[in-house]
Each structure stands twice: as structure tokens, then as C-alpha cells.
Amino acid sequence: MKEFDLNGKWALVTGAGSGMGRTTSIELAREGANLILVDICGEAMGNVARELEAMGAEVQTFCVDVTDPEQVQRMADTIHTRWGPLDVLVNNAGIAYMNHMIDTTVEDWRKLFDVNMWSIIHMVKAFAPEMMKRKAGQIVNISSGQAFFSVPTWGAYAATKFWVDGYTEALRYELYWHKVGVTCVYPGIVRTPFYDTITGGLLVKLGLKVLMATASKPETVSRLTVRGIKRRKKMVIPFIMWPVYLFKPMLPCLFELSGRLVAWALRKE
């Protein structure tokens, strides 16, 4: 299949002010794309916009809460009026959360659902119809390696990423007939501010230090993501997640034992 030429195309990235949102925007700009940056933090987004403009990219910014469907729809109406249908939509916005399932409050669940799930629904509903009418475009949803293996104390977060996986799969089938591609990305641990809000006892702190020492750079995952966009891949799985993706179905007892041991170790954290 011929690669998707991003030069001169309009790409929108949510959560663009930091982490993988920033690095994915930079990688898209390197391919010649024009960027529409979306973030709830205007200052951080403005800093990224200046980086991209220094690279020669045309950049537009929208300070929007992507969990609010009315804000998202107003933004979409403005974008469609000024620049037409998007060529690429990257649903990157997301939040981390770590706690035992039984201790996760309804408020915490709602916040996770709003950011990690409802924001994708709002963005797709706002932008996909115009892509379908034009019969062109690519939608990218960021899931997680935890869609393959749900780690104890990360269950609530993992549940939202399992949802992203299932939602994206069905969306890919449906939009295929409208010539709109859909890609799901499954990052492992990535060295970004995403994990800065995680708190816990000694084992959690030690575990996070080990994870951060072995974590992928966001630039690496973003390069894979943009390569996946260009090749219209249905899945983007970083190298570190391939063993989990391949071996969990073949060695379920090993992963079952690993999950139980981690849960036992963290039972008092």
C-alpha cells in the first residue's frame, strides 16, 4: 500500500502540551504536516506551538477541555469552516491512575472515563463524519500495553485502555468502507509527566523508579506512531510490549502467577 503523504496535511493532536502529545506533534511536523494543537493548558501548548513554528510548520492552537462535548463541537465547527476536514486525528489526551480497584472512588472512575474514554468519543463524533464524507483521513487512538495485561493497582486505568482497544477495533471495521483508516497505539511505560501524579508507599516508589529507568522515550513511541500513520497500520506496538502481546495467550499461567504475586506484594500499599 502506498504510504500516506503527510506533507501539507492538517493533523490535530489532543494533549499536545506535553509528553507524547508534544513529541508526536514534532514528528508530524517533521513530515511536513500542519498542526492543530489541543490542550487544556494554554501555556504548555503555546510553548509547543513555538517549537513547531521554528521548524517551519503552520500551527493553530485551541485551549479546549476535550471532556466537554460542547467545547469540542464548537472547535470542530471552527476547524471545518476554516480548514476543512482533518487529514489526521490523534486522540492522545489521557490521565494515569494507580490504586486498588476496591478503593477507587466513583469520582475517580468518572474522571478516568471522562478523559480516557469520553474525550475520544467526543472527538470522533465531531471530526469523523467530515472525513467520511471526503472518504479520506486517519484516526489514531492511544491505548496502552495494559490492554494486553492488566497490572494490579492499575486496574481502573487498564479498564479504560481495554475500552479504547475495543472501541478502536470496531471503529476501524466501520470506517474502512468510508476509506478512513483507524490506528490503535499500545505504549508501554513511557518517560513522560504522565506518571508524576502517582503516589504510594515504598514498593510503589521503588517500582516506579525501576520502570522509569527502563521506560521508552516518548520520541521513540511517537516515531513509531507517525510511521504507523503513514503506513495506515491498524496497530502500533512498541518493541518492549511485543513479548506481552505474543506470549500471554501462549503462557497464561505465567501471567496469572505474575499478576497474583504483584497483587500480593502491593496489598498494603
Q: Which residues are catalytic?
A: 157
Distance between CA atoms of residues 41 and 45, nearest Å: 6
Distance between CA atoms of residues 41 and 31, nearest Å: 25
Helix, strand, coil distribution of the chain in percent, nearest 5:
55, 15, 30
DSSP 108: H
CB atoms < 10 A from the CB of 78, how many? 12
Q: How remote is the C-alpha of 32 from its chain's centroid?
A: 21
Distance between CA atoms of residues 35 and 55, nearest Å: 12
Q: How remote is the C-alpha of 91 from its chain's centroid?
A: 6
- Would you state the cell numbers that stand for residue 166, as one nine-digit string? 475495543
Partners of 142 in beta bridges: 185
Distance between CA atoms of residues 237 and 233, nearest Å: 10
Q: How remote is the C-alpha of 198 from its chain's centroid?
A: 18
